[in-house]
């Protein structure tokens, strides 16, 4: 498991340099058919084994999602604004995290990778695809995340 975690870390850092983006990487993205996600955001670093969303809040939000699987494209998707995540860390400890906003979106995105799902498979709204470079010319980074709204039933 340590070798896989190191490979995920090295691959994420190399991809970050190449594409100037990236906060996490799922094992299937590097060809490892296991349920492991590596997250590196600022000082927060975690290797998550068998992560699962155990609960979601009652609000969703729209996100212009990017991904190493399609680095030049953005896809608007709908995600839960709040979620509870449970995973096992590299020491075997079960960890529970309450997630909100961009962190909730990120982990939902990564768990989708574990299930073979890409943002491309779940576009939301009218005109949900954009070339990243074009979108960035006319939008602020803060516009990637819409406001939370009650979930539509």
Tens of pLDDT, residue by residue over 14-36, are: 999 999 999 999 999 999 999 99
Would residue 40 show up in a list of annotated catalytic residues for this protein? no
Q: Which one is the CATH code of 2-147: 3.40.190.10, 3.40.50.300, 3.40.50.720, 3.90.45.10?
A: 3.90.45.10
**Over the chain, what is the mean pLDDT?**
97
* Interval 121-126 mean pLDDT: 96
pTM of the complete model: 0.95
Tens of pLDDT, residue by residue over 42-88, are: 999 999 999 999 999 999 999 999 999 999 999 999 999 999 999 99
Catalytic residue among 59, 100, 105, 110: 110
Return the SS3 of 16. helix
CB 76 within 8 A of CB 63: yes
Tell me what percent of the residues of the chain surpass a pLDDT of 70: 100
CA distance linking residue 53 with residue 131, whole number of Å: 30
| Of the candidates 63, 67, 74, the residue with the CA atom closest to the CA atom of residue 101 | 63
């Amino acid at each position: 498991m340590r070798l896989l975690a190191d490979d995920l870390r090295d691959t994420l850092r190399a991809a970050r340099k190449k594409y100037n983006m990236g906060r996490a990487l799922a094992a299937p993205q590097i060809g490892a058919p296991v349920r492991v996600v590596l997250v590196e955001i600022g000082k927060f670093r975690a290797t998550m084994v068998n992560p699962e969303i155990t609960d979601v809040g009652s609000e969703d939000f729209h996100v212009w999602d990017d991904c190493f699987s399609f680095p030049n494209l953005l896809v608007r998707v709908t995600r839960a604004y709040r979620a509870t995540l449970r995973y096992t860390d590299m020491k075997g400890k079960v960890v529970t995290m309450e997630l909100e906003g961009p962190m909730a979106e990120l982990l939902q995105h990564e768990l989708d990778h574990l299930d073979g799902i890409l943002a491309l498979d779940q576009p939301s709204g009218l005109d949900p695809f954009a070339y990243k470079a074009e979108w960035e010319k006319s939008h602020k980074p803060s516009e990637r995340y819409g406001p939370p709204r009650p979930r539509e039933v």
